[in-house]
Structure 1
Amino acid sequence: MAIDPKKTLDAYRAKRGEFRILEVPAMQYLMIDGAGDPNTAAAYSEAVAALFPLAYTLKFESRKTLGVDTVVMPLEGLWHAPDMESFTSRRDKSAWLWTLMILVPDHVTPEMFADAVEAVEQKSAKKKQQTPGLRSVRLETLDEGLCVQTLHVGSYDDEAPVLDDLHHRFIPDNRLRMTGLHHEIYLSDVRRVEPAKLRTILRQPVGRVS
Protein backbone atom coordinates (compact mmCIF):
# COMPACT_ATOMS: atom_id res chain seq x y z
CA MET A 1 0.00 0.00 0.00
CA ALA A 2 1.26 3.47 -0.86
CA ILE A 3 2.52 5.66 1.97
CA ASP A 4 0.27 8.68 2.54
CA PRO A 5 2.13 11.51 4.34
CA LYS A 6 -1.19 13.31 4.91
CA LYS A 7 -1.98 10.57 7.45
CA THR A 8 1.41 10.56 9.18
CA LEU A 9 2.68 14.16 9.18
CA ASP A 10 1.36 16.51 11.87
CA ALA A 11 1.78 19.39 9.42
CA TYR A 12 -1.19 18.03 7.43
CA ARG A 13 -3.60 18.03 10.38
CA ALA A 14 -5.92 20.95 11.07
CA LYS A 15 -9.38 21.56 12.51
CA ARG A 16 -12.05 23.95 11.33
CA GLY A 17 -12.55 26.88 13.70
CA GLU A 18 -9.28 26.24 15.56
CA PHE A 19 -5.96 28.05 15.17
CA ARG A 20 -3.12 25.73 16.17
CA ILE A 21 0.52 26.61 16.80
CA LEU A 22 2.95 23.95 15.59
CA GLU A 23 6.48 23.33 14.38
CA VAL A 24 6.61 22.42 10.70
CA PRO A 25 9.77 20.50 9.73
CA ALA A 26 11.83 21.17 6.64
CA MET A 27 10.28 19.35 3.67
CA GLN A 28 11.10 18.96 -0.01
CA TYR A 29 8.82 20.22 -2.78
CA LEU A 30 8.46 20.63 -6.49
CA MET A 31 8.01 24.42 -6.88
CA ILE A 32 7.13 26.89 -9.61
CA ASP A 33 6.62 30.67 -9.32
CA GLY A 34 4.03 32.89 -10.97
CA ALA A 35 1.78 35.91 -10.62
CA GLY A 36 -1.80 36.99 -11.20
CA ASP A 37 -5.36 35.80 -10.65
CA PRO A 38 -5.34 31.99 -10.37
CA ASN A 39 -8.75 31.88 -12.06
CA THR A 40 -7.61 33.67 -15.22
CA ALA A 41 -3.78 33.71 -15.43
CA ALA A 42 -2.44 31.30 -18.06
CA ALA A 43 0.72 30.90 -16.00
CA TYR A 44 -1.30 29.33 -13.18
CA SER A 45 -2.84 26.58 -15.29
CA GLU A 46 0.54 26.00 -16.96
CA ALA A 47 2.16 25.61 -13.54
CA VAL A 48 -0.38 23.01 -12.43
CA ALA A 49 0.03 21.20 -15.75
CA ALA A 50 3.79 21.01 -15.15
CA LEU A 51 3.76 19.95 -11.49
CA PHE A 52 1.49 16.92 -11.54
CA PRO A 53 3.14 14.99 -14.41
CA LEU A 54 6.48 15.44 -12.65
CA ALA A 55 5.04 14.28 -9.32
CA TYR A 56 3.55 11.15 -10.89
CA THR A 57 6.73 10.40 -12.82
CA LEU A 58 8.73 10.58 -9.58
CA LYS A 59 6.18 8.38 -7.82
CA PHE A 60 6.38 5.62 -10.43
CA GLU A 61 10.18 5.81 -10.70
CA SER A 62 10.55 5.59 -6.91
CA ARG A 63 8.30 2.54 -6.83
CA LYS A 64 10.18 0.90 -9.70
CA THR A 65 13.78 1.57 -8.65
CA LEU A 66 13.57 1.97 -4.86
CA GLY A 67 10.53 -0.11 -3.99
CA VAL A 68 9.01 2.89 -2.22
CA ASP A 69 5.46 3.87 -3.16
CA THR A 70 4.10 7.20 -1.94
CA VAL A 71 0.82 8.85 -2.89
CA VAL A 72 1.04 12.03 -4.94
CA MET A 73 0.40 14.85 -2.50
CA PRO A 74 -2.10 17.67 -3.04
CA LEU A 75 -1.34 20.98 -4.63
CA GLU A 76 -0.07 23.67 -2.25
CA GLY A 77 0.62 27.37 -2.67
CA LEU A 78 2.66 30.14 -1.10
CA TRP A 79 0.97 33.50 -1.56
CA HIS A 80 2.04 37.10 -1.10
CA ALA A 81 1.54 40.58 -2.52
CA PRO A 82 3.05 44.06 -2.14
CA ASP A 83 0.02 44.88 0.03
CA MET A 84 -1.25 41.91 2.07
CA GLU A 85 -4.69 43.52 2.28
CA SER A 86 -5.05 42.13 -1.25
CA PHE A 87 -5.88 38.83 0.47
CA THR A 88 -8.33 40.15 3.06
CA SER A 89 -10.24 43.40 2.68
CA ARG A 90 -9.58 44.19 -1.00
CA ARG A 91 -9.14 40.70 -2.55
CA ASP A 92 -7.24 42.09 -5.54
CA LYS A 93 -6.27 38.81 -7.18
CA SER A 94 -4.41 40.49 -10.02
CA ALA A 95 -1.78 41.63 -7.48
CA TRP A 96 -1.14 38.15 -6.10
CA LEU A 97 2.28 36.50 -6.37
CA TRP A 98 2.42 32.76 -5.86
CA THR A 99 4.56 29.67 -5.71
CA LEU A 100 2.72 26.43 -6.45
CA MET A 101 4.16 23.28 -4.87
CA ILE A 102 3.76 19.55 -4.40
CA LEU A 103 5.48 17.75 -1.53
CA VAL A 104 7.84 14.96 -2.61
CA PRO A 105 9.69 12.40 -0.46
CA ASP A 106 13.15 13.11 0.90
CA HIS A 107 14.59 10.25 -1.16
CA VAL A 108 13.98 12.23 -4.37
CA THR A 109 17.41 13.47 -5.47
CA PRO A 110 18.33 16.27 -7.89
CA GLU A 111 19.33 13.56 -10.38
CA MET A 112 15.92 11.87 -10.09
CA PHE A 113 14.24 15.24 -10.56
CA ALA A 114 16.29 16.03 -13.69
CA ASP A 115 15.49 12.59 -15.14
CA ALA A 116 11.78 13.15 -14.44
CA VAL A 117 11.83 16.48 -16.28
CA GLU A 118 13.41 14.80 -19.30
CA ALA A 119 10.90 11.95 -19.18
CA VAL A 120 7.91 14.29 -19.06
CA GLU A 121 9.32 16.37 -21.92
CA GLN A 122 9.82 13.29 -24.09
CA LYS A 123 6.35 11.95 -23.33
CA SER A 124 4.77 15.32 -24.10
CA ALA A 125 6.70 15.61 -27.36
CA LYS A 126 5.43 12.21 -28.51
CA LYS A 127 1.88 13.39 -27.84
CA LYS A 128 2.64 16.76 -29.47
CA GLN A 129 1.67 18.53 -26.24
CA GLN A 130 3.12 21.82 -25.01
CA THR A 131 4.70 21.98 -21.53
CA PRO A 132 5.63 25.67 -21.16
CA GLY A 133 6.01 25.58 -17.39
CA LEU A 134 8.06 22.42 -17.09
CA ARG A 135 11.55 23.94 -17.18
CA SER A 136 10.52 26.52 -14.57
CA VAL A 137 9.88 23.84 -11.94
CA ARG A 138 12.58 23.39 -9.32
CA LEU A 139 13.25 20.97 -6.45
CA GLU A 140 13.62 22.91 -3.21
CA THR A 141 13.47 22.44 0.56
CA LEU A 142 11.16 24.71 2.55
CA ASP A 143 11.77 25.13 6.28
CA GLU A 144 8.84 27.04 7.79
CA GLY A 145 9.45 26.30 11.47
CA LEU A 146 6.93 27.79 13.90
CA CYS A 147 3.52 28.23 12.26
CA VAL A 148 -0.15 28.77 12.96
CA GLN A 149 -2.67 26.84 10.89
CA THR A 150 -6.37 26.06 10.62
CA LEU A 151 -8.77 24.24 8.31
CA HIS A 152 -11.04 26.31 6.09
CA VAL A 153 -14.10 24.60 4.64
CA GLY A 154 -15.73 26.47 1.79
CA SER A 155 -14.95 28.56 -1.25
CA TYR A 156 -11.48 30.04 -1.60
CA ASP A 157 -13.16 33.44 -1.89
CA ASP A 158 -14.54 32.99 1.64
CA GLU A 159 -11.10 32.70 3.26
CA ALA A 160 -10.76 36.44 3.88
CA PRO A 161 -12.58 36.59 7.27
CA VAL A 162 -10.53 33.65 8.57
CA LEU A 163 -7.26 35.27 7.47
CA ASP A 164 -8.32 38.61 8.91
CA ASP A 165 -9.00 36.95 12.29
CA LEU A 166 -5.65 35.14 12.11
CA HIS A 167 -3.63 38.22 11.13
CA HIS A 168 -5.27 40.81 13.37
CA ARG A 169 -6.43 38.85 16.42
CA PHE A 170 -4.87 35.43 17.01
CA ILE A 171 -1.30 36.24 16.02
CA PRO A 172 -0.94 39.50 18.02
CA ASP A 173 -2.96 38.13 20.97
CA ASN A 174 -0.48 35.26 21.27
CA ARG A 175 2.56 37.55 21.07
CA LEU A 176 3.48 36.32 17.62
CA ARG A 177 4.41 38.08 14.39
CA MET A 178 4.11 36.97 10.78
CA THR A 179 7.39 35.91 9.19
CA GLY A 180 7.17 33.65 6.13
CA LEU A 181 4.63 33.53 3.31
CA HIS A 182 0.95 32.62 3.61
CA HIS A 183 0.65 28.91 2.79
CA GLU A 184 -2.39 27.00 1.54
CA ILE A 185 -2.78 23.23 1.18
CA TYR A 186 -5.63 22.16 -1.10
CA LEU A 187 -6.94 18.90 0.32
CA SER A 188 -9.94 18.73 -2.03
CA ASP A 189 -10.00 18.20 -5.78
CA VAL A 190 -11.58 21.38 -7.10
CA ARG A 191 -12.77 19.48 -10.19
CA ARG A 192 -14.91 17.08 -8.12
CA VAL A 193 -15.91 18.98 -4.96
CA GLU A 194 -18.42 21.80 -4.85
CA PRO A 195 -17.03 25.14 -3.58
CA ALA A 196 -18.94 25.03 -0.27
CA LYS A 197 -17.20 21.76 0.67
CA LEU A 198 -13.61 22.52 -0.35
CA ARG A 199 -11.13 21.72 2.45
CA THR A 200 -8.03 23.92 2.64
CA ILE A 201 -5.35 24.13 5.30
CA LEU A 202 -4.37 27.77 5.87
CA ARG A 203 -0.88 28.18 7.37
CA GLN A 204 1.10 31.23 8.44
CA PRO A 205 4.75 31.00 9.55
CA VAL A 206 5.33 33.11 12.66
CA GLY A 207 7.96 34.20 15.14
CA ARG A 208 7.61 34.93 18.84
CA VAL A 209 7.64 38.53 20.04
CA SER A 210 10.13 38.91 22.89
Structure 2
Amino acid sequence: MPDKIDFKKTLDAYRASAGSFRILDVPEMRYLMIDGSGDPNSDPAYAEALEALYPVAYKLKFASKQELGRDYVVPPLEGLWYADDMDAFTVARDKSRWHWTMMLLVPEWIEPELVALAVERAGASKRPARLDAVRLEMLDEGRCVQTLHIGSFDDEAEVLERMHHEFIPGHGLRLAGKHHEIYFSDFRRVAPERLRTILRQPVAG
Protein backbone atom coordinates (compact mmCIF):
# COMPACT_ATOMS: atom_id res chain seq x y z
CA MET A 1 0.00 0.00 0.00
CA PRO A 2 1.32 3.51 -0.82
CA ASP A 3 2.63 5.71 1.98
CA LYS A 4 0.16 7.72 4.00
CA ILE A 5 -0.09 11.25 2.57
CA ASP A 6 0.56 14.15 4.93
CA PHE A 7 -0.77 17.31 3.30
CA LYS A 8 1.20 19.51 5.71
CA LYS A 9 4.30 18.24 3.89
CA THR A 10 2.98 18.08 0.32
CA LEU A 11 0.82 21.19 -0.19
CA ASP A 12 2.54 24.48 -1.01
CA ALA A 13 -0.41 26.30 0.57
CA TYR A 14 0.73 24.91 3.94
CA ARG A 15 4.22 26.43 3.61
CA ALA A 16 5.06 29.56 5.59
CA SER A 17 7.96 30.97 7.61
CA ALA A 18 7.91 32.84 10.89
CA GLY A 19 8.99 36.47 10.71
CA SER A 20 8.28 36.95 7.00
CA PHE A 21 5.26 37.43 4.76
CA ARG A 22 4.76 35.45 1.58
CA ILE A 23 2.56 36.17 -1.44
CA LEU A 24 1.16 33.04 -3.08
CA ASP A 25 -1.70 31.82 -5.24
CA VAL A 26 -3.82 29.29 -3.37
CA PRO A 27 -5.70 26.82 -5.60
CA GLU A 28 -9.38 26.06 -5.17
CA MET A 29 -9.84 23.36 -2.53
CA ARG A 30 -12.72 21.49 -0.88
CA TYR A 31 -13.45 21.45 2.81
CA LEU A 32 -15.81 20.09 5.40
CA MET A 33 -17.20 23.32 6.87
CA ILE A 34 -19.35 24.43 9.78
CA ASP A 35 -20.25 28.02 10.78
CA GLY A 36 -20.65 29.80 14.09
CA SER A 37 -20.21 33.04 16.01
CA GLY A 38 -18.80 34.23 19.31
CA ASP A 39 -15.76 33.76 21.49
CA PRO A 40 -14.18 30.34 20.70
CA ASN A 41 -12.82 30.18 24.27
CA SER A 42 -16.21 30.34 25.95
CA ASP A 43 -19.05 29.86 23.47
CA PRO A 44 -20.24 26.21 23.45
CA ALA A 45 -21.05 26.52 19.73
CA TYR A 46 -17.32 26.36 18.94
CA ALA A 47 -16.77 23.10 20.81
CA GLU A 48 -19.92 21.66 19.25
CA ALA A 49 -18.62 22.57 15.79
CA LEU A 50 -15.40 20.60 16.33
CA GLU A 51 -17.36 17.70 17.84
CA ALA A 52 -19.26 17.50 14.54
CA LEU A 53 -16.35 18.07 12.12
CA TYR A 54 -13.81 15.59 13.41
CA PRO A 55 -15.96 12.42 13.44
CA VAL A 56 -16.86 13.06 9.79
CA ALA A 57 -13.22 13.69 8.89
CA TYR A 58 -12.05 10.44 10.49
CA LYS A 59 -14.87 8.39 8.98
CA LEU A 60 -13.84 9.87 5.62
CA LYS A 61 -10.17 9.00 6.16
CA PHE A 62 -10.99 5.39 7.06
CA ALA A 63 -13.33 5.07 4.08
CA SER A 64 -10.64 6.39 1.75
CA LYS A 65 -8.13 3.87 3.10
CA GLN A 66 -10.45 0.87 3.14
CA GLU A 67 -12.57 1.50 0.05
CA LEU A 68 -10.24 3.50 -2.21
CA GLY A 69 -6.86 2.23 -1.03
CA ARG A 70 -5.60 5.77 -0.38
CA ASP A 71 -4.58 6.66 3.16
CA TYR A 72 -3.78 10.11 4.51
CA VAL A 73 -3.26 12.04 7.71
CA VAL A 74 -6.37 14.04 8.65
CA PRO A 75 -5.39 17.59 7.62
CA PRO A 76 -4.96 20.38 10.16
CA LEU A 77 -7.93 22.30 11.46
CA GLU A 78 -8.49 25.59 9.63
CA GLY A 79 -10.72 28.57 10.32
CA LEU A 80 -12.11 31.54 8.44
CA TRP A 81 -12.61 34.47 10.81
CA TYR A 82 -14.47 37.68 10.10
CA ALA A 83 -16.30 40.55 11.75
CA ASP A 84 -18.32 43.56 10.66
CA ASP A 85 -15.28 45.65 11.61
CA MET A 86 -11.97 43.84 10.99
CA ASP A 87 -10.34 45.94 13.73
CA ALA A 88 -12.08 43.49 16.07
CA PHE A 89 -9.08 41.25 15.26
CA THR A 90 -6.19 43.71 15.34
CA VAL A 91 -7.21 46.47 17.78
CA ALA A 92 -10.05 45.62 20.15
CA ARG A 93 -9.67 41.81 19.94
CA ASP A 94 -13.35 41.66 20.89
CA LYS A 95 -13.96 37.94 20.39
CA SER A 96 -17.67 38.21 21.08
CA ARG A 97 -17.96 40.05 17.71
CA TRP A 98 -16.21 37.33 15.73
CA HIS A 99 -17.86 35.03 13.21
CA TRP A 100 -16.12 31.88 12.05
CA THR A 101 -16.18 28.91 9.72
CA MET A 102 -14.16 25.93 10.93
CA MET A 103 -12.86 23.62 8.22
CA LEU A 104 -11.01 20.40 7.43
CA LEU A 105 -9.56 19.79 3.97
CA VAL A 106 -11.06 17.00 1.86
CA PRO A 107 -8.65 15.26 -0.58
CA GLU A 108 -9.39 15.89 -4.23
CA TRP A 109 -9.86 12.19 -5.06
CA ILE A 110 -12.84 11.80 -2.67
CA GLU A 111 -16.27 12.09 -4.28
CA PRO A 112 -19.20 13.90 -2.59
CA GLU A 113 -21.06 10.60 -2.25
CA LEU A 114 -18.35 9.26 0.06
CA VAL A 115 -18.53 12.45 2.12
CA ALA A 116 -22.28 11.98 2.52
CA LEU A 117 -21.68 8.40 3.62
CA ALA A 118 -19.07 9.57 6.16
CA VAL A 119 -21.60 12.01 7.63
CA GLU A 120 -24.13 9.21 7.92
CA ARG A 121 -21.59 6.94 9.62
CA ALA A 122 -20.54 9.72 12.02
CA GLY A 123 -24.11 9.90 13.29
CA ALA A 124 -24.70 6.18 13.57
CA SER A 125 -23.91 5.84 17.28
CA LYS A 126 -23.55 8.99 19.41
CA ARG A 127 -24.77 11.67 17.02
CA PRO A 128 -22.99 15.05 17.35
CA ALA A 129 -25.41 17.87 18.11
CA ARG A 130 -24.41 19.92 15.05
CA LEU A 131 -23.75 17.11 12.58
CA ASP A 132 -26.48 18.37 10.23
CA ALA A 133 -24.66 21.72 9.98
CA VAL A 134 -21.54 20.14 8.41
CA ARG A 135 -21.31 20.77 4.68
CA LEU A 136 -18.89 20.14 1.80
CA GLU A 137 -17.90 23.34 0.02
CA MET A 138 -15.27 24.67 -2.37
CA LEU A 139 -13.06 27.58 -1.31
CA ASP A 140 -11.24 29.63 -3.94
CA GLU A 141 -9.02 32.23 -2.25
CA GLY A 142 -6.63 33.01 -5.11
CA ARG A 143 -3.86 35.50 -4.34
CA CYS A 144 -3.02 35.54 -0.62
CA VAL A 145 -0.46 36.78 1.87
CA GLN A 146 0.53 34.47 4.70
CA THR A 147 3.03 33.97 7.49
CA LEU A 148 3.73 31.47 10.25
CA HIS A 149 2.93 32.74 13.73
CA ILE A 150 4.61 30.99 16.65
CA GLY A 151 2.99 31.79 19.97
CA SER A 152 -0.34 32.44 21.63
CA PHE A 153 -3.41 33.22 19.56
CA ASP A 154 -3.75 36.42 21.58
CA ASP A 155 -0.33 37.55 20.31
CA GLU A 156 -1.44 37.51 16.67
CA ALA A 157 -2.72 41.10 16.70
CA GLU A 158 0.69 42.72 16.15
CA VAL A 159 1.49 40.39 13.25
CA LEU A 160 -1.91 41.01 11.64
CA GLU A 161 -1.50 44.75 12.11
CA ARG A 162 1.74 44.64 10.12
CA MET A 163 0.25 42.35 7.50
CA HIS A 164 -2.92 44.39 6.99
CA HIS A 165 -1.55 47.91 7.28
CA GLU A 166 2.09 47.65 6.16
CA PHE A 167 2.93 44.65 3.97
CA ILE A 168 -0.31 44.38 1.97
CA PRO A 169 -0.73 48.08 1.05
CA GLY A 170 3.05 48.35 0.66
CA HIS A 171 2.84 45.83 -2.18
CA GLY A 172 -0.05 47.60 -3.90
CA LEU A 173 -2.62 45.12 -2.59
CA ARG A 174 -5.79 45.33 -0.52
CA LEU A 175 -7.72 42.95 1.73
CA ALA A 176 -10.18 40.92 -0.33
CA GLY A 177 -11.51 38.03 1.75
CA LYS A 178 -11.84 36.45 5.17
CA HIS A 179 -8.92 36.09 7.57
CA HIS A 180 -7.78 32.46 7.42
CA GLU A 181 -5.89 30.48 10.07
CA ILE A 182 -4.35 27.01 9.79
CA TYR A 183 -3.54 25.26 13.06
CA PHE A 184 -0.46 23.05 13.01
CA SER A 185 -0.60 22.54 16.80
CA ASP A 186 -3.20 21.03 19.10
CA PHE A 187 -3.93 23.90 21.49
CA ARG A 188 -5.16 21.38 24.07
CA ARG A 189 -1.71 19.75 24.30
CA VAL A 190 0.81 22.42 23.27
CA ALA A 191 1.92 25.35 25.44
CA PRO A 192 0.63 28.71 24.10
CA GLU A 193 4.13 30.02 23.37
CA ARG A 194 4.81 27.00 21.10
CA LEU A 195 1.64 27.07 19.01
CA ARG A 196 2.31 27.14 15.24
CA THR A 197 -0.40 28.85 13.17
CA ILE A 198 -0.45 30.02 9.56
CA LEU A 199 -2.09 33.42 9.25
CA ARG A 200 -3.47 33.98 5.74
CA GLN A 201 -5.21 36.95 4.15
CA PRO A 202 -6.69 36.88 0.61
CA VAL A 203 -5.81 40.03 -1.34
CA ALA A 204 -6.51 41.81 -4.61
CA GLY A 205 -4.44 44.23 -6.68
Q: 1:123: Cα distance to partner?
A: 2.4
User: 3-state SS of the aligned residue for 1:192?
Assistant: coil
2:13 corresponds to 1:19: no
Q: Pick from 134, 144, 147: which aligns with 2:144?
A: 147
Q: Which TM-score applies when normalising by structure 2?
A: 0.97
Name the CA distance, whole Å, in 2 between partners of 1:94 and 1:204.
Answer: 21
The match for 2:184 is 187
Q: Pick from 113, 131, 135: which aligns with 1:134?
A: 131
Q: 1:25: Cα distance to partner?
A: 0.5
Q: Pick from 160, 164, 177: which aligns with 2:161?
A: 164
The match for 2:170 is 173
The match for 2:197 is 200
Name the CA distance, whole Å, in 2 between partners of 1:69 and 1:123.
Answer: 24
Name the CA distance, whole Å, in 1 between partners of 2:70 and 2:20.
Answer: 35
The match for 1:67 is 69
User: What is the Cα-based RMSD across aligned positions, in Å?
Assistant: 0.7
Q: 1:110: Cα distance to partner?
A: 1.8
The match for 1:41 is 43
User: 3-state SS of the aligned residue for 2:169?
Assistant: helix
Unaligned runs of 5+ in 2: none
Q: 1:70: Cα distance to partner?
A: 1.0
User: 3-state SS of the aligned residue for 2:124?
Assistant: helix
The match for 2:86 is 84
1:38-97 alpha-carbon deviations (Å, 9 max, x no partner): 001111000011111111000000001110001101110000001111001100000000
Name the CA distance, whole Å, in 2 between partners of 1:36 and 1:152.
Answer: 22
Name the CA distance, whole Å, in 1 between partners of 2:65 and 2:164.
Answer: 42
Q: 1:108: Cα distance to partner?
A: 1.9
Name the CA distance, whole Å, in 1 between partners of 2:28 and 2:199.
Answer: 18
* Structure 2 letter corresponding to 1:90: A
Name the CA distance, whole Å, in 1 between partners of 2:26 and 2:36.
Answer: 24
Q: Identity, % of aligned pairs?
A: 62
Runs of 4+ in 1 over 3 A off after TM superposition: none
Q: 1:117: Cα distance to partner?
A: 1.1
Name the CA distance, whole Å, in 1 between partners of 2:110 and 2:51.
Answer: 20
Name the CA distance, whole Å, in 1 between partners of 2:71 and 2:96.
Answer: 39
Q: Which TM-score applies when normalising by structure 1?
A: 0.95
Q: 1:106: Cα distance to partner?
A: 1.1
The match for 1:32 is 34
Aligned length: 203
* Structure 2 letter corresponding to 1:133: R
